[in-house]
Amino acid sequence: MPAYLAPWRASPCVFRSSKSELMPNLASDGVVCAPLQTFTEEETMLKNMVTKFAQERVAPLVQKMDENSKMEDSVIQGLFEQGLMSIELGEEYGGTGASFFSVILVVEELAKVDPAVALLCELQNTLINKLFTTYGTEEQKRTYLPRVAKDTIGSFCLSEAGSGSDAFSLKTRAEKKGDYYIINGSKMWISLAEHAGVFFVMANTDPSLGYRGITCFIVDRNTEGLHVGKKEDKLGIRASSTCPVTFENVKVPETNILGQVGQGYKYAIGVLNTGRIGIAAQMLGLAQGCFDHTIPYTKERVQFGKSVFDFQGMQHQIAQVATQLEAARLLTYNAARLAETGRPFIKEASMAKYYTAEVATLTTSKCIEWMGGVGFTKNYPIEKYYRDCKIGTIYEGTSNIQLSTIAKSLAQEY
Protein backbone atom coordinates (compact mmCIF):
# COMPACT_ATOMS: atom_id res chain seq x y z
CA MET A 1 0.00 0.00 0.00
CA PRO A 2 1.39 3.45 -0.91
CA ALA A 3 2.51 5.43 2.12
CA TYR A 4 0.13 8.30 1.39
CA LEU A 5 -2.83 5.89 1.62
CA ALA A 6 -1.90 4.87 5.15
CA PRO A 7 -2.76 8.01 7.15
CA TRP A 8 -2.00 6.49 10.56
CA ARG A 9 1.41 5.20 9.57
CA ALA A 10 4.35 7.32 10.76
CA SER A 11 5.82 9.32 7.91
CA PRO A 12 9.47 8.54 7.09
CA CYS A 13 9.94 12.22 6.24
CA VAL A 14 10.52 14.91 8.82
CA PHE A 15 10.12 18.65 8.33
CA ARG A 16 13.69 19.94 8.68
CA SER A 17 12.75 22.79 11.00
CA SER A 18 11.33 20.26 13.44
CA LYS A 19 14.62 18.39 13.67
CA SER A 20 16.73 19.12 16.71
CA GLU A 21 20.51 18.99 16.66
CA LEU A 22 22.54 17.40 19.42
CA MET A 23 24.88 19.82 21.11
CA PRO A 24 28.08 17.86 21.78
CA ASN A 25 29.08 17.39 25.41
CA LEU A 26 26.01 19.30 26.53
CA ALA A 27 25.98 17.92 30.07
CA SER A 28 29.72 17.82 30.62
CA ASP A 29 30.26 21.33 29.25
CA GLY A 30 27.45 22.73 31.34
CA VAL A 31 25.97 24.43 28.26
CA VAL A 32 22.46 25.78 28.66
CA CYS A 33 20.25 26.22 25.59
CA ALA A 34 19.21 29.84 25.90
CA PRO A 35 15.86 31.22 24.70
CA LEU A 36 15.95 33.04 21.37
CA GLN A 37 15.42 36.35 23.12
CA THR A 38 18.57 35.95 25.20
CA PHE A 39 21.26 38.42 24.11
CA THR A 40 24.95 38.74 24.81
CA GLU A 41 26.13 41.68 26.89
CA GLU A 42 27.44 43.36 23.74
CA GLU A 43 24.13 42.86 21.93
CA THR A 44 22.18 44.25 24.88
CA MET A 45 24.39 47.33 25.13
CA LEU A 46 24.09 48.00 21.41
CA LYS A 47 20.31 47.53 21.49
CA ASN A 48 19.96 50.00 24.37
CA MET A 49 22.22 52.52 22.66
CA VAL A 50 20.19 52.37 19.45
CA THR A 51 16.92 52.74 21.36
CA LYS A 52 18.27 55.95 22.92
CA PHE A 53 19.63 57.22 19.60
CA ALA A 54 16.33 56.56 17.82
CA GLN A 55 14.29 58.36 20.46
CA GLU A 56 16.59 61.36 20.79
CA ARG A 57 18.03 61.86 17.30
CA VAL A 58 15.48 60.31 14.93
CA ALA A 59 12.01 60.59 16.49
CA PRO A 60 11.85 64.42 16.47
CA LEU A 61 12.50 64.44 12.70
CA VAL A 62 10.31 61.55 11.51
CA GLN A 63 7.25 63.55 10.50
CA LYS A 64 9.34 66.23 8.76
CA MET A 65 11.37 63.65 6.82
CA ASP A 66 8.22 61.83 5.74
CA GLU A 67 6.51 65.02 4.55
CA ASN A 68 9.59 66.26 2.69
CA SER A 69 10.60 62.84 1.35
CA LYS A 70 14.14 63.56 2.47
CA MET A 71 16.48 62.00 5.00
CA GLU A 72 17.98 64.62 7.27
CA ASP A 73 21.77 64.88 7.03
CA SER A 74 22.00 64.83 10.83
CA VAL A 75 20.37 61.40 10.90
CA ILE A 76 22.74 59.97 8.30
CA GLN A 77 25.71 61.51 10.10
CA GLY A 78 24.46 60.10 13.40
CA LEU A 79 24.22 56.58 12.00
CA PHE A 80 27.85 56.76 10.87
CA GLU A 81 29.03 58.35 14.12
CA GLN A 82 27.39 55.62 16.21
CA GLY A 83 28.98 52.87 14.09
CA LEU A 84 25.59 51.67 12.88
CA MET A 85 26.58 51.63 9.21
CA SER A 86 29.43 49.18 9.76
CA ILE A 87 28.19 46.87 12.51
CA GLU A 88 29.89 43.67 11.34
CA LEU A 89 32.97 45.25 9.79
CA GLY A 90 36.25 44.64 11.54
CA GLU A 91 37.85 47.40 13.56
CA GLU A 92 40.75 47.49 11.08
CA TYR A 93 38.32 49.03 8.59
CA GLY A 94 36.71 51.37 11.09
CA GLY A 95 33.81 49.04 11.85
CA THR A 96 32.15 48.03 15.10
CA GLY A 97 33.15 44.35 14.86
CA ALA A 98 29.82 43.09 16.21
CA SER A 99 27.66 40.12 15.20
CA PHE A 100 25.11 39.66 12.42
CA PHE A 101 22.45 39.26 15.08
CA SER A 102 23.41 42.72 16.31
CA VAL A 103 22.52 44.06 12.86
CA ILE A 104 19.05 42.55 13.21
CA LEU A 105 18.54 44.08 16.66
CA VAL A 106 19.65 47.50 15.42
CA VAL A 107 17.32 47.41 12.41
CA GLU A 108 14.41 46.33 14.61
CA GLU A 109 14.99 49.15 17.11
CA LEU A 110 15.35 51.82 14.41
CA ALA A 111 12.21 50.59 12.63
CA LYS A 112 10.17 51.06 15.79
CA VAL A 113 10.75 54.79 15.32
CA ASP A 114 11.23 55.16 11.55
CA PRO A 115 11.34 52.24 9.08
CA ALA A 116 12.96 54.51 6.46
CA VAL A 117 16.00 55.10 8.67
CA ALA A 118 16.06 51.38 9.49
CA LEU A 119 16.20 50.60 5.76
CA LEU A 120 19.28 52.77 5.28
CA CYS A 121 21.04 50.89 8.07
CA GLU A 122 19.77 47.50 6.89
CA LEU A 123 20.87 47.84 3.27
CA GLN A 124 24.30 49.20 4.17
CA ASN A 125 24.99 46.31 6.54
CA THR A 126 23.32 43.30 4.90
CA LEU A 127 23.98 44.10 1.22
CA ILE A 128 26.74 46.64 0.68
CA ASN A 129 29.17 45.69 3.43
CA LYS A 130 28.41 41.99 2.98
CA LEU A 131 29.27 42.12 -0.74
CA PHE A 132 32.60 43.82 -0.06
CA THR A 133 33.62 41.51 2.79
CA THR A 134 32.49 38.27 1.12
CA TYR A 135 33.59 38.77 -2.48
CA GLY A 136 35.91 41.77 -2.58
CA THR A 137 39.65 41.59 -3.18
CA GLU A 138 41.99 42.83 -0.48
CA GLU A 139 42.62 45.98 -2.51
CA GLN A 140 38.87 46.60 -2.90
CA LYS A 141 38.36 46.10 0.82
CA ARG A 142 41.18 48.52 1.69
CA THR A 143 39.78 51.08 -0.74
CA TYR A 144 36.07 50.95 0.06
CA LEU A 145 35.44 49.50 3.52
CA PRO A 146 36.92 52.45 5.46
CA ARG A 147 34.72 54.73 3.33
CA VAL A 148 31.44 52.84 3.87
CA ALA A 149 32.26 52.72 7.59
CA LYS A 150 32.94 56.45 7.83
CA ASP A 151 30.68 58.45 5.50
CA THR A 152 29.84 56.70 2.21
CA ILE A 153 26.46 55.14 1.50
CA GLY A 154 26.35 52.24 -0.94
CA SER A 155 23.59 51.32 -3.39
CA PHE A 156 22.70 47.98 -5.00
CA CYS A 157 21.62 48.20 -8.67
CA LEU A 158 19.79 45.06 -9.81
CA SER A 159 16.16 45.79 -10.79
CA GLU A 160 15.21 47.17 -14.19
CA ALA A 161 12.00 48.21 -15.93
CA GLY A 162 11.65 44.74 -17.44
CA SER A 163 13.23 42.68 -14.67
CA GLY A 164 11.63 42.87 -11.25
CA SER A 165 10.99 39.47 -9.67
CA ASP A 166 12.54 38.02 -12.84
CA ALA A 167 15.70 39.84 -11.86
CA PHE A 168 18.16 37.90 -13.98
CA SER A 169 16.52 38.83 -17.27
CA LEU A 170 18.23 42.22 -16.91
CA LYS A 171 19.33 44.06 -20.08
CA THR A 172 22.17 46.26 -18.80
CA ARG A 173 25.31 45.39 -20.78
CA ALA A 174 29.01 45.52 -19.94
CA GLU A 175 31.26 45.27 -22.99
CA LYS A 176 34.95 44.50 -22.55
CA LYS A 177 37.39 46.98 -24.09
CA GLY A 178 40.97 46.08 -23.19
CA ASP A 179 41.37 46.28 -19.43
CA TYR A 180 38.08 48.21 -19.04
CA TYR A 181 34.39 47.48 -19.40
CA ILE A 182 31.85 49.88 -20.89
CA ILE A 183 28.46 49.73 -19.15
CA ASN A 184 25.22 50.78 -20.83
CA GLY A 185 21.71 50.38 -19.49
CA SER A 186 19.26 51.64 -16.89
CA LYS A 187 18.11 50.52 -13.46
CA MET A 188 14.88 51.21 -11.59
CA TRP A 189 13.75 51.25 -7.96
CA ILE A 190 17.30 51.78 -6.67
CA SER A 191 17.21 52.36 -2.94
CA LEU A 192 19.47 55.03 -1.40
CA ALA A 193 20.61 56.21 -4.84
CA GLU A 194 20.11 59.89 -3.96
CA HIS A 195 22.87 59.84 -1.33
CA ALA A 196 24.99 56.89 -2.52
CA GLY A 197 28.69 57.38 -3.17
CA VAL A 198 29.32 53.91 -4.59
CA PHE A 199 27.13 51.54 -6.59
CA PHE A 200 27.15 47.77 -7.11
CA VAL A 201 25.93 47.39 -10.69
CA MET A 202 24.72 44.09 -12.10
CA ALA A 203 25.40 43.95 -15.84
CA ASN A 204 25.65 41.15 -18.40
CA THR A 205 29.07 40.71 -20.01
CA ASP A 206 27.84 37.95 -22.37
CA PRO A 207 24.09 37.84 -23.06
CA SER A 208 24.51 34.57 -24.98
CA LEU A 209 25.13 32.89 -21.63
CA GLY A 210 21.90 34.24 -20.14
CA TYR A 211 22.06 34.87 -16.41
CA ARG A 212 25.50 33.20 -16.31
CA GLY A 213 26.90 36.29 -17.96
CA ILE A 214 25.80 38.60 -15.13
CA THR A 215 28.74 40.30 -13.45
CA CYS A 216 28.90 42.70 -10.52
CA PHE A 217 30.81 45.96 -10.98
CA ILE A 218 31.85 48.54 -8.37
CA VAL A 219 31.10 51.99 -9.78
CA ASP A 220 31.86 55.28 -8.02
CA ARG A 221 29.19 57.96 -8.15
CA ASN A 222 31.44 60.51 -9.86
CA THR A 223 32.12 58.17 -12.78
CA GLU A 224 31.34 59.89 -16.08
CA GLY A 225 28.10 58.65 -17.64
CA LEU A 226 26.42 57.57 -14.39
CA HIS A 227 23.20 59.54 -13.82
CA VAL A 228 20.87 59.33 -10.83
CA GLY A 229 17.33 60.31 -11.84
CA LYS A 230 14.50 62.01 -10.00
CA LYS A 231 13.44 60.09 -6.91
CA GLU A 232 10.07 58.37 -6.83
CA ASP A 233 7.13 59.94 -4.97
CA LYS A 234 6.26 56.92 -2.84
CA LEU A 235 3.44 55.77 -0.58
CA GLY A 236 5.71 54.89 2.32
CA ILE A 237 9.33 54.90 3.58
CA ARG A 238 9.38 58.30 1.93
CA ALA A 239 12.54 59.55 3.63
CA SER A 240 14.50 56.76 1.95
CA SER A 241 15.20 57.67 -1.67
CA THR A 242 14.28 55.37 -4.55
CA CYS A 243 15.59 56.51 -7.94
CA PRO A 244 16.26 55.34 -11.49
CA VAL A 245 19.96 55.11 -12.36
CA THR A 246 21.22 55.18 -15.95
CA PHE A 247 24.60 54.23 -17.39
CA GLU A 248 25.76 55.82 -20.64
CA ASN A 249 29.13 54.47 -21.78
CA VAL A 250 30.31 54.22 -18.19
CA LYS A 251 33.96 53.18 -18.23
CA VAL A 252 34.87 50.84 -15.36
CA PRO A 253 38.34 49.28 -14.88
CA GLU A 254 38.56 45.50 -14.84
CA THR A 255 39.90 45.77 -11.29
CA ASN A 256 36.47 47.00 -10.22
CA ILE A 257 34.79 43.69 -10.96
CA LEU A 258 33.51 42.20 -7.72
CA GLY A 259 34.52 38.55 -7.52
CA GLN A 260 34.52 36.70 -10.83
CA VAL A 261 33.06 37.45 -14.23
CA GLY A 262 29.70 35.72 -14.68
CA GLN A 263 29.15 35.09 -10.97
CA GLY A 264 27.10 38.19 -10.22
CA TYR A 265 23.83 36.29 -10.09
CA LYS A 266 25.20 34.04 -7.34
CA TYR A 267 26.38 37.02 -5.34
CA ALA A 268 22.99 38.71 -5.66
CA ILE A 269 21.15 35.60 -4.50
CA GLY A 270 23.53 35.18 -1.57
CA VAL A 271 23.20 38.69 -0.13
CA LEU A 272 19.46 38.89 -0.80
CA ASN A 273 18.93 35.71 1.22
CA THR A 274 20.67 37.38 4.16
CA GLY A 275 19.01 40.71 3.44
CA ARG A 276 15.58 39.13 3.81
CA ILE A 277 16.27 38.61 7.49
CA GLY A 278 17.07 42.30 7.70
CA ILE A 279 13.78 43.23 6.04
CA ALA A 280 12.00 40.86 8.43
CA ALA A 281 13.59 42.82 11.30
CA GLN A 282 12.43 46.06 9.73
CA MET A 283 8.84 44.83 9.42
CA LEU A 284 8.97 43.42 12.95
CA GLY A 285 10.20 46.70 14.42
CA LEU A 286 7.64 48.66 12.41
CA ALA A 287 4.77 46.51 13.68
CA GLN A 288 6.03 46.62 17.27
CA GLY A 289 6.51 50.37 17.15
CA CYS A 290 2.97 50.86 15.88
CA PHE A 291 1.60 48.51 18.55
CA ASP A 292 3.56 50.32 21.28
CA HIS A 293 2.08 53.66 20.22
CA THR A 294 -1.45 52.30 20.14
CA ILE A 295 -1.98 50.20 23.27
CA PRO A 296 -1.43 53.03 25.79
CA TYR A 297 -4.05 55.05 23.91
CA THR A 298 -6.60 52.25 24.18
CA LYS A 299 -6.02 52.19 27.96
CA GLU A 300 -6.50 55.95 28.27
CA ARG A 301 -9.43 56.42 25.89
CA VAL A 302 -12.73 56.06 27.79
CA GLN A 303 -16.02 55.11 26.14
CA PHE A 304 -19.22 53.91 27.83
CA GLY A 305 -17.63 54.46 31.22
CA LYS A 306 -14.50 52.33 30.79
CA SER A 307 -11.28 52.26 28.81
CA VAL A 308 -11.41 50.93 25.26
CA PHE A 309 -8.83 48.32 26.30
CA ASP A 310 -11.16 46.89 28.94
CA PHE A 311 -13.74 45.69 26.41
CA GLN A 312 -13.30 41.95 25.96
CA GLY A 313 -13.71 42.19 22.20
CA MET A 314 -10.77 44.60 22.09
CA GLN A 315 -8.67 42.48 24.43
CA HIS A 316 -9.06 39.44 22.21
CA GLN A 317 -8.00 41.38 19.12
CA ILE A 318 -5.01 42.88 20.91
CA ALA A 319 -3.98 39.49 22.33
CA GLN A 320 -4.14 37.93 18.87
CA VAL A 321 -1.92 40.62 17.35
CA ALA A 322 0.52 40.41 20.28
CA THR A 323 0.80 36.66 19.73
CA GLN A 324 1.52 37.10 16.05
CA LEU A 325 4.15 39.73 16.84
CA GLU A 326 5.88 37.29 19.16
CA ALA A 327 5.78 34.55 16.52
CA ALA A 328 7.24 36.96 13.95
CA ARG A 329 10.03 37.89 16.36
CA LEU A 330 10.95 34.26 16.99
CA LEU A 331 10.99 33.47 13.26
CA THR A 332 13.26 36.45 12.62
CA TYR A 333 15.63 35.79 15.51
CA ASN A 334 15.87 32.10 14.61
CA ALA A 335 16.77 32.86 10.99
CA ALA A 336 19.38 35.37 12.17
CA ARG A 337 21.00 32.93 14.61
CA LEU A 338 21.07 30.23 11.92
CA ALA A 339 22.77 32.58 9.46
CA GLU A 340 25.21 33.76 12.10
CA THR A 341 26.33 30.23 12.93
CA GLY A 342 26.74 29.18 9.30
CA ARG A 343 23.80 26.77 9.23
CA PRO A 344 21.26 26.57 6.36
CA PHE A 345 18.80 29.44 6.67
CA ILE A 346 17.31 30.20 3.23
CA LYS A 347 13.88 28.70 3.99
CA GLU A 348 13.79 30.26 7.45
CA ALA A 349 14.77 33.67 6.03
CA SER A 350 11.93 33.52 3.52
CA MET A 351 9.50 32.42 6.22
CA ALA A 352 10.58 35.31 8.43
CA LYS A 353 10.28 37.92 5.69
CA TYR A 354 6.94 36.61 4.43
CA TYR A 355 5.38 36.33 7.88
CA THR A 356 6.65 39.60 9.34
CA ALA A 357 5.33 41.49 6.31
CA GLU A 358 1.91 39.87 6.82
CA VAL A 359 1.95 40.62 10.54
CA ALA A 360 3.00 44.24 9.93
CA THR A 361 0.10 44.67 7.53
CA LEU A 362 -2.38 43.26 10.03
CA THR A 363 -0.94 45.10 13.02
CA THR A 364 -0.90 48.55 11.44
CA SER A 365 -4.41 48.12 10.05
CA LYS A 366 -5.79 47.01 13.41
CA CYS A 367 -4.00 49.82 15.24
CA ILE A 368 -5.73 52.41 13.05
CA GLU A 369 -9.06 50.78 13.89
CA TRP A 370 -8.28 50.70 17.62
CA MET A 371 -7.27 54.36 17.58
CA GLY A 372 -10.48 55.35 15.80
CA GLY A 373 -10.61 58.68 14.01
CA VAL A 374 -7.28 59.98 15.33
CA GLY A 375 -5.54 56.90 13.90
CA PHE A 376 -6.61 58.08 10.46
CA THR A 377 -4.95 61.49 10.86
CA LYS A 378 -1.35 62.59 10.49
CA ASN A 379 -1.40 63.95 14.04
CA TYR A 380 -0.40 60.46 15.15
CA PRO A 381 2.27 58.23 13.55
CA ILE A 382 -0.07 55.24 13.12
CA GLU A 383 -1.05 56.03 9.54
CA LYS A 384 2.64 56.35 8.60
CA TYR A 385 3.38 52.87 9.89
CA TYR A 386 0.41 51.67 7.81
CA ARG A 387 1.88 53.27 4.67
CA ASP A 388 5.42 52.15 5.41
CA CYS A 389 4.59 48.47 5.88
CA LYS A 390 3.29 47.83 2.36
CA ILE A 391 6.76 47.74 0.84
CA GLY A 392 7.58 44.69 2.98
CA THR A 393 5.53 42.47 0.67
CA ILE A 394 7.37 43.81 -2.39
CA TYR A 395 11.09 44.51 -2.09
CA GLU A 396 13.96 42.03 -1.66
CA GLY A 397 11.61 39.36 -3.02
CA THR A 398 7.82 39.67 -3.10
CA SER A 399 5.68 37.59 -0.76
CA ASN A 400 4.92 35.20 -3.61
CA ILE A 401 8.63 34.77 -4.28
CA GLN A 402 9.13 33.93 -0.59
CA LEU A 403 6.33 31.36 -0.72
CA SER A 404 7.89 29.78 -3.82
CA THR A 405 11.25 29.60 -2.08
CA ILE A 406 9.69 27.96 0.97
CA ALA A 407 7.81 25.46 -1.20
CA LYS A 408 10.98 24.59 -3.11
CA SER A 409 12.76 23.85 0.17
CA LEU A 410 9.86 21.71 1.36
CA ALA A 411 9.90 19.71 -1.88
CA GLN A 412 13.56 18.89 -1.26
CA GLU A 413 12.97 17.95 2.37
CA TYR A 414 10.14 15.55 1.62
Q: Are 156 and 220 in contact (CB under 8 A)?
A: no
Q: Give the CA count within 13 Å in the CB-facing half-sphere of 230.
A: 2
Q: Which of 42, 358, 396, 413 is catalytic?
A: 396
Q: Are 231 and 192 in contact (CB under 8 A)?
A: no
C-alpha span between 299 and 293 (Å, rounded): 11
Length of the chain: 414
C-alpha span between 35 and 279 (Å, rounded): 22
Q: What percentage of the chain's residues is helix, strand, coil (to nearest 5)? A: 55, 15, 30
Name the residue among 199, 44, 43, 192 with its Cα closest to residue 117: 192
Instruction: Using DSSP bridges, classify how beta strands 257-258 and 214-220 pair: parallel, antiparallel or unpaired.
Output: antiparallel
Respond yes or no: is residue 396 known to be catalytic.
yes
- Which of 50-55's residues contact partners 24+ apart within 8 Å by CB, and which partners? 50/82, 50/84, 50/105, 50/106, 50/109, 50/110, 51/109, 53/78, 53/82, 53/84, 54/109, 54/110, 54/112, 54/113, 54/114, 54/117, 55/113
Cβ-based burial of 179 (10 A; exposed 0-12, middle 13-18, buried ≥19): exposed
> Residue 202, by phi and psi: left (phi above 0), alpha (psi -120 to 50) or beta?
beta
User: Which active-site residues does the annotation give?
Assistant: 396
